[in-house]
Structure 1
């Protein structure tokens, strides 16, 4: 049930992300852009909270494991947020330039997207031994399975909300 709630929330927030970002290009007001950015930041925080709840519900951690796991998880999430900030920036650039996107801009955005993917993969590799120090190898594997599946659901919703580049 928590997973369904998370997917629904992400679907709503991602539609909001693209529609609000693209409509704010029509507004020359930086105040409107700041308001949109704040709304999107709140939605992203809500999604992270829901993700944490889904992970908590599925990890079956003991009290001792929880004490050690959650600080590492929070550190991992903080680093992941920084990477995802780059993804959000690229999506925002795409939305703002959608109607006038040049080949060079499209190529640059593609490189940015692939760099984000590489950074996320590197972060996961970095954190495998860190999580394995505080929980078992199987629970570490379970965590990364859950994390990847949730991120894939979020990315699927994002992809469905963002139009394809027009050649």
Structure 2
């Protein structure tokens, strides 16, 4: 699907605004289609589920924007990254991962109040799988950091 194609492009292209917008819109469309296909909701369940899903996606939009910004920043420094840059980026990406998890937890709890636990559990499975797939696709395309020559690498054996 198109999101896979966009994420499979060379890493340097990620910084282009048109690609970023394509990824944003296409991922949301694809994820919604996958959720629709796999949830098997009745009309009554749909009336409760989709507003909750839309609120969840709205909360995640800002997180995705920050993740894309971090990836763009990483693309600028991954060759010759200093320890200070690595520490800063690592701290921010770990905080962002925690925020993604907290957002999912918050919205799962809201869904539990309106829908049967079996449906909420099914959505959790779908959403978690999609998130892991996205992370896997990104990790395949993002090169490992290349430290600067002069930066001593703590914890690394030669």
Contact 1:87 1:112 in 2 (8 A): no
User: Could you tell me how far apart the structure 1 residues matched to 2:10 and 2:97 are?
Assistant: 20
The answer for the alignment partner of 2:70 in structure 1 is: 90
Q: 2:6 aligns with which of 13, 19, 22?
A: 13
Q: Which has the higher helix share?
A: 1
User: Could you tell me how far apart the structure 2 residues matched to 1:129 and 1:40 are?
Assistant: 31
SS of the residue 2:52 aligns to: helix
Contact 1:17 1:40 in 2 (8 A): no
TM-score (norm 2): 0.86
In the alignment, structure 1 residue 163 sits paired with structure 2 residue 130: no
User: Could you tell me how far apart the structure 1 residues matched to 2:54 and 2:44 are?
Assistant: 16
SS of the residue 1:163 aligns to: coil
The 5 Å alignment of 1:1-167 reads 5=1, 9-16=2-9, 18-21=11-14, 36-167=16-147
TM-score (norm 1): 0.82
Aligned residue-pair number = 147
Task: Let me know the Cα RMSD of the aligned residues.
Answer: 1.5
User: Could you tell me how far apart the structure 2 residues matched to 1:75 and 1:99 are?
Assistant: 38
User: Could you tell me how far apart the structure 2 residues matched to 1:56 and 1:146 are?
Assistant: 10
Structure number with larger C-alpha Rg:
2
SS of the residue 1:150 aligns to: helix
Unaligned runs of 5+ in 1: 25-35
Unaligned runs of 5+ in 2: 148-158
Deviation at 1:43, TM superposition (A): 2.2
